[in-house]
Structure 1
Amino acid sequence: MASSPQMCLSLYHLLLLTISPLRSHSFFFPSQPSSPCGPGRSWAVRLDAGSVTAGRSLERLAHSVAEEVGLENHGQIGQLEGHYLLCQGAEDSADVDSALDRNPHVLWHSQEHILRRSKRSVTFNDPKYPSQWHLHNDVKQGMDINVSGVWERNITGVGITVVVVDDGLQHTLADIQPNYSPEGSYDLNSNDPDPMPHPDSHSDNHHGTRCAGEIAAVSNNRFCTVGVAYGAKVAGIRVLDGPLTDSMEAVAFNKHYQVNDVYSCSWGPDDDGRTVDGPHPLGKAALQHGVIAGRRGFGSIFVVASGNGGQYEDNCNYDGYANSIYTVTIGAVDENGKRPFYAEECASMLAVTFSSGSRQLRSIVTSDWSLQSGTGCTDGHTGTSAAAPLAAGMVALMLQVRPCLSWRDVQHIITYTATQHDADAQADWGINGAGFHHSHKYGFGLLNAWRLVNAAKVWESVPFLVSYQSPVLKTNEGIPEYPKTLTHTWNVSLSELRQSGMQTLEHVSVTVTVVHPRRASVEIRLVCPSGMSSLIGARRPLDVDTTGFTDWTFSTVRCWGERAEGQYKRVICVIGVDPVSFAILNQFSVNTFPYAMGGQYLDRSFALPCPPGIDVPPEIVSPFTSSSLKSLLLLGCFALFWSLYYTLEVTLTHWDWRGCSTTGRDRGFQAGSTGLEDIHNILWFSNPRAALSHDPLHQTHLQLRVVLLLDFILHLAAHPIRWTLVCHG
């Protein structure tokens, strides 16, 4: 017990030795000053490392500088060597900035202020935005277009113009007007630049305005909804509110094609299960010209709806717009990701996106016209008409990040990024030789805005389009009844493809002529070399046409990415009736490209530079309408007659002057003449018109001419048509 005090003293000394370094460091360099340090009371400074002498650290220098200017050192700022945070103590220091300016050890200083920063989340005050389930589905996760992340990166379609080819566009609507592009708009029905829809007896000319709202409805304007590409411009071409001809359709497809980037077309032939129709020669030529010359040579993007004839077992391969190689064919799924009752299917469908379903399911919420019974907003937009504009808006987002995407680049990116979503056996998914999944019902799958945009950022443009066309095969064979089939094969060798530079497939098309008393019974399939089968000519029970097919072209994308060489089969049969003899003209062409992009490029954050576009001559647009031209014509006729009258008057005046001047010369200036007569004579020589104004007889003639001129003007106003014809003649 005697040693206990000594042991306690030793432990006390050990404790002092253990904590003394911490106490001494804390005493000299307090690590956590008690004074408040916030915006307005703190300065960030950068010290000169060259000022540090031997045995002295930057930390000591920071404390020294802080004491000199009346501040406290709160330590180094993060990992930035030489940068320190100095704060005011309990008492405010006077003129800190001047003191820091004078200090030789301070290279830079800045007083701290509050910085405004916002989280990269997207919020809108548009009242119907929470109901736009196709943009953000909080009820069924994954059943939306996945666009929120794209918006958060400030990709909203800025710099891109989407034109809605339809029945008009109410551009005065609050959701449309700020994004409206008059430069890309036109009214082909009335032949004037304003595509405003006209009220009709059925109050249904709202279709184009609804589609435009889906694409580019303005955000955060406290009105209705938000568009997929709410930063893009939207234009309108009014062409469906009246008789439509082949030439009008051709004009619509190429109208302002250096202003408009994407053409959204939610229309087509009748979806009645019996119609076979599509673009006629001029329309086909315009589509081809658009993808070649539109958008400075990168090609106009034509987005079309697959059709609403599903309840009639219609098929979009009988729609020439939907099976064209120049269009992006879009089908529809409901909010459950299932094919709705109205949606058509076909082998040429590229992808699907969201729209309405049965009555129990939600429809698309979008802008609406405010004319007649419209309110400017609707939650009842339906059909594949609502699906195509969503796809057009997503294409606008793609073009913002990479404006040089060609029309074929867009198709390729869709094939790579669309997602297989319905694993049901009835979905008819098939895997082709290149590993692509494709369904007659869903195309390559569901469009995903996030995947589309990220793939577009790094996409390298595919080479130019090449094609191979087989010789025309003419035969006169009977078509057997199912299960027997009539099969024609065609071998494509590698040497034949090498001449055209072909390697892999894109579209495969087959043109046939079939004579049959009931077209609904004919079924046609195409089998590619890999064995991938496409039902290109589906049976339609309601198609009772007795003429068959005349040079009709079917197409498929189910062989996309496969090698082009090998044996192709066209299999045809009759189901449900007796076999009938027929004549058939068969040809098919194969369009390919020699490049493919791997999936490892998805979700990359950089974008490749774009090459310059082709300088296309600007479109010649007349600024005059037919009514303004008529007015100018009448004005021109009036100016012509006025000039003729004025010429006649000057001529008559000149004749009068010559006669009077001759008399004056004969008479001369008499000595006894009055001064007034002399002035009158001088006026004849210097200004005959002024002299004539003093002549009572000439004044009478002038009054008579004015009366005749007024009579002529009144006659012209009373008979404008007659004078217009005279001017034309």
Structure 2
Amino acid sequence: MVNFQSWRTRRFLGILVTLALVLPELVVCKEVEVLTNSWLVELEAPGGARVARDVAKRTGFTYVSPVLNSQTQLHLIHKGVHHARSKRSVPHTRLLKAHPYVKSAVQLTGYLRQKRGYKSLDAILTDFRLQKPKIVNYPVFERSKPKLPSDPDFDKEGYLRNTGQSGGVAGLDLNVVEAWEMGYTGTDVTTAIMDDGIDYLHPDLRHNYNAEHSYDFSSNDPYPYPRYTDTWFNSHGTRCAGEVSAARDKGNCGVGVAYGSKVADLRMLDQPFMTDLIEANLTGHMSNLPYIYSASWGPTDDGKTVDGRRNLSMRAIVNGVNNGRNGKGNIYVWASGDGGPNDDCNCDGYAASMWTISINSATNDGQTAGYDLSCSSTLASTFSNGKATSRDAGVATTDLYGNCTASHSGTSAAAPEAYGVFALALEANRNLNWREIQHLTGLTSKRNSLSDSNGVHAWKYSGAGLEFNHLVGYGVLDAALMVDLAHTWKGLPERFHCTAGSDSTERYFDMCNPIRITIDTDGCAGSDSEVNYLEHVQSFITLRATFRGDVTIYLTSPMSDTSMTLSQRPNEDDGKNSTTRWPFMTVHTWAELSHGRWTLEVILEPIRGLKTNYEEGVFKEWTLVMHGSKEQPYRDQPDNKAKHQKLYKPKRQHASGIAFRK
């Protein structure tokens, strides 16, 4: 007999899943836990693939893969269970646990992950209608090439060479052409594009496609080609890949920032819900092979979500930066997000992680885009869509089925440019580790003509003399400066982390009474984890407020550098859930001294026009964790490169051993 109630439930969930896929801005299952048809299974003893397949066969499951190459943890799916259901499938879990080889079995929950820069459905359809079938004419290669690329869309790529096209400011670009003239194109560097698939048959991409390192985590096979839809919804990864590795002088679209580099395709976004297990295998895939892992996606940019990595995916990324690339560490780059002034990227556990490099965007005239998220964890910026009045104001790159586009947008379009610049730097010095890429980013990024179009966030000098902005970090990447400094880079002292102090005294605060807490520290002096010179600083905070979105948090360092580690979020009206040990991170104290008094300020100020409503909160814990080095970070760097850095011709000398320029 047909269970009509069950059928209706599955049908309804199916409709919701479809809507979530086509219109990701709709958070359709935000308040309901979604259970997938995936299970994380742990064996009693190491058994490998043979035992895994035996367990799956005897329980009616299908074996997918080990978890992070483990001999005891497995990913199993059950094809008879719907991939998105509202209740746990207890009988299937019990069946797994009853197997004598199985130690534990957990049905995995699903959660939404959103592509950055995703446009409305109408905009996508309009863009699709503007596309014309492309006739590919393969060029005849000549021995001598022009100084500039001959690709037909190169003049539209203002982020490579800004001549003032599309209303831009001439000279405001990534300074990539100069890096090419120095001989760097990203040769033998691979970027893994974690997205919705790459059109690896595209004439501009197929010769730079790294099939060996590619995999489809949506359908579990080695052919991660994008799934066709009428709206070209799955063009996201192809567009990102073209910005990095589109070939030069092929006569098709434009050219990539690192046109000599390779791209690997790790397809995973084309599914309604993500799981911790998929993300773990994704970010840990062949970690000794790809140099850079790229992500232009994250939790929903709705101004309400506080979300990030789960346990398995965090383990994968930590393992990648510590052991990947034969110990040098993989480079994980994340788009900061497109939630605009109503959100804060420190609430995104991917972009705000110290293991990743968070990249924001600027327009071609030096202004910040309306969708830009701000946070103290953003390290630098690149360029995205410019003047909206110009048809070619978007980012020019490759598109599906051999086509080109000039309308790629959002921080999705900005972050791939950073992957390309980092590929050039890794070609210049293949010994660079993950920390050194972050140091080079902070030292060589420039203010140039960047400014906050809303006039809210001014440029400031840190206690170490580095100029930064809350929106765009240390400025726009400069490819030529980075490769020049990378070429003679001499390394960094060992990295440590120090728990500088903690305060768990419960404090109440309201609209008229903010709280101010201090921690005095010596940077764990005399211990094995002594930190004198800072890199990342984390504040693990637990609090609850009537409206959590009305809370602002500031952190001030001993060198008087103040970071806004949490800004107000007008859309977040959550008064029930606490922020529990969330790691608010700042990079604004880079290279500063750690010793002295750190001050945390928590302010509750209504922003919904309800000034008469009484609001209050309770603050429960602050733990300050500092990451950096015991010794001077730049002591071994050659002086002859100083003219290309921010650290030149001192007006004062900093204790790190480097002269910082005002």
Q: 1:471 to 1:493 in 2, by over 3 A?
A: closer
Does residue 1:464 correspond to 2:494, yes or no? Answer: yes
What RMSD in Å do the two structures reach over aligned CA positions?
2.0
Aligned to 1:136: 161
Asked if 1 retains the 8 angstrom alpha-carbon contact of 2:501 and 2:519, the reply is no
2:368 to 335, 339, 344: 339
**Could you tell me which residue of structure 2 aligns to residue 595 of structure 1?**
632
Decide which structure has greater strand share: 2
State the AA in 2 paired with 1:129: F
Which of 472, 478, 503 pairs up with 2:508? 478
2:198 corresponds to:
169
Deviation at 1:357, TM superposition (A): 3.3
* Secondary structure in 2 matching 1:602: helix
State the 1:358 CA deviation: 4.5
**Which one of 297, 302, 325 corresponds to residue 267 of structure 1?**
297
Question: Would the aligned equivalents of 1:458 and 1:601 in 2 still touch at CA under 8 Å?
Answer: no
Among residues 358, 377, 384, which one is paired with 1:355 in the alignment? 384
Q: 1:568 aligns with which of 598, 618, 641?
A: 598
Instruction: Summarize the Cα distance change of 1:497–1:240 in structure 2 as closer, same or farther, 3 Å threshold.
Output: farther
State the partner residue of 2:315. Answer: 285
Summarize the alignment of residues 69-84 of structure 1 with structure 2, pairs less than 5 Å apart. none
Q: Residues 634-653 of structure 1: matches in 2 within 5 Å? A: none
Q: How many residues align?
A: 483
Contact persistence 1:497–1:503 (CA under 8 A): no
Aligned to 1:330: 359
Superposed CA deviations along residues 640-671 of structure 1, whole A, max 9, x for unmatched, are xxxxxxxxxxxxxxxxxxxxxxxxxxxxxxxx
Contact 1:122 1:148 in 2 (8 A): no
Cα distance change of structure 1 residues 260 and 520 upon mapping to structure 2, 3 Å threshold: same
Residue of structure 2 aligned with 1:258, choices 288, 291, 295: 288
SS of the aligned residue for 2:315 comes to: helix
Letter in 2 for 1:128: D
Deviation digits for residues 433-467 of structure 1, max 9, x if unmatched?
Answer: 11011111110011111111101111121122201
- Superposed, 1:647-662 pairs within 5 Å as none
Q: Which amino acid aligns with 2:225?
A: M
Map 1:273-672; keep pairs closer than 5 Å. Answer: 273-310=303-340, 313-360=342-389, 362-370=393-401, 376-421=403-448, 422=450, 426-482=456-512, 484-493=513-522, 496=525, 499-546=528-575, 547-576=577-606, 578-593=614-629, 594-597=631-634, 600-602=639-641
Q: Do the aligned partners of residues 118 and 176 (structure 1) sit closer, same or farther apart at CA in structure 2, a change above 3 Å counting?
A: closer
Within 2, Cα distance between the matches of 1:494 and 1:297?
27
TM-score normalised by length of structure 1: 0.64
- CA distance change for structure 1 residues 255 and 578 in 2, over 3 Å: closer, same or farther? same
Measure the CA separation in 2 of the matches of 1:216 and 1:251.
Answer: 24
Residue 203 of structure 1: how far off its partner (Å)? 2.3
> Using a 3 Å threshold, how does the CA distance of structure 1 residues 475 and 494 change in structure 2: closer, same or farther?
closer
Report the residue type matching 2:287 in the other structure: Y
Deviation, 1:198, is: 0.8
Alignment of 1:11-26 (within 5 A): none
Q: How many Å separate the matches in 1 of 2:523 and 2:349?
A: 31
Secondary structure of the residue aligned to 1:289 is: helix
The Cα offsets for residues 331-377 of structure 1, whole Å up to 9 and x where unpaired, read as 0000011101011111110000111134125110000111xxxx521
Q: Match of 2:388, as an amino acid? A: R
Aligned-partner SS, 1:324: coil
C-alpha separation in 1, matches of 2:230 and 2:386: 28
Which secondary structure state, in structure 2, belongs to the residue aligned with residue 478 of structure 1? strand
Asked which structure has the greater RCO (Cα within 8 Å, sep 6+), the reply is 2
- CA-CA distance at 1:500 after TM superposition: 2.2
Q: Tell me how far apart the structure 1 counterparts of residues 605 and 386 of structure 2 sit (CA, whole Å).
A: 31
Whether the 8 Å contact between 1:451 and 1:603 is mirrored in structure 2 is no
- The TM-score normalised by the length of structure 2 is 0.70
Q: In structure 1, what is the Cα distance between the partners aligned to 2:387 and 2:171?
A: 20
The question of whether the paired residues in 2 share the 8 Å contact of 1:478 and 1:579 is answered with no
Asked whether 1:124 is paired with 2:124, we answer no
For structure 2, which runs of at least 5 residues remain unmatched after alignment?
1-141, 607-612, 645-662
Report the CA distance shift for 1:415/1:296 in structure 2 as closer, same or farther (over 3 A).
same
Q: Is the 8 A contact 2:511 2:614 kept in 1?
A: yes
Q: 1:382 to 1:130 in 2, by over 3 A?
A: same
Please list the CA deviations of residues 256-275 of structure 1 after superposition, one character each: whole Å capped at 9, or x if unmatched.
Answer: 11221001110111111111
Structure 1 Cα separation of the partners of residues 319 and 528 of structure 2: 25
Give 1:200's aligned residue. 229
Question: Which deviates further from its counterpart, 587-596 or 171-180?
Answer: 587-596
Find the aligned partners of 2:466 and 2:213 in 1 and give their Cα distance. Answer: 37
How many Å apart are 1:320 and its aligned residue? 0.6
Structure 1's 150 and 573: CA in aligned 2 closer, same or farther, altered over 3 A?
same
- The CA distance in 2 between the partners of 1:416 and 1:352, in whole Å, is 13
Counterpart residue type for residue 580 of structure 1: E
Pairwise CA distance, 1:485:
2.1
User: For 1:494 and 1:287, how far apart are their aligned partners in 2?
Assistant: 26
Deviation at 1:601, TM superposition (A): 4.3
Identity %: 35
Higher helix share: 1
Structure with larger Rg: 1
3-state secondary structure, aligned to 1:302 = strand
